[in-house]
Amino acid sequence: MSELMLEIVIEGEPLVLQSICKSLSPDNKEAPLSIKIFDELSETSYIISIRSLFTSRSIRTVKQTVDEILSLITAIRKLTLMEQ
């Protein structure tokens, strides 16, 4: 069966990247059973890799997961801008 793979790459300031990583870590560990989420934090980027079987149901689940991740990233970015 085919596999769905998606990567979200965020580049920016180390403190912002660390905040995003810390905020997402608990959710990434409790991902739906049909999804595997891996992340990697470096000084200049934070990479989130999502893998799942390629089925219509898993595509919907991955979409919901990505929507949640992007919403959280947006909220953290707004908070960071407000603090500056």
> Would you call 33 helix, strand, or coil by DSSP?
coil
3-state secondary structure of 48: strand
pLDDT at 29: 62
Q: What is the pLDDT of residues 17-58, one digit of tens each?
A: 988 898 887 555 666 667 899 999 999 999 999 999 888 888
Domain with residue 44: its CATH number is 3.30.310.50
- Please give the pLDDT value at position 41: 95
Number of domains forming the structure of the chain: 1
76: domain range?
3-83
| Tens-digit pLDDT profile for residues 69-80 | 899 889 888 887
Of residues 32 and 59, more confidence is placed in: 59
The 3-state DSSP class for residue 12 equals coil
Model confidence, pTM:
0.81
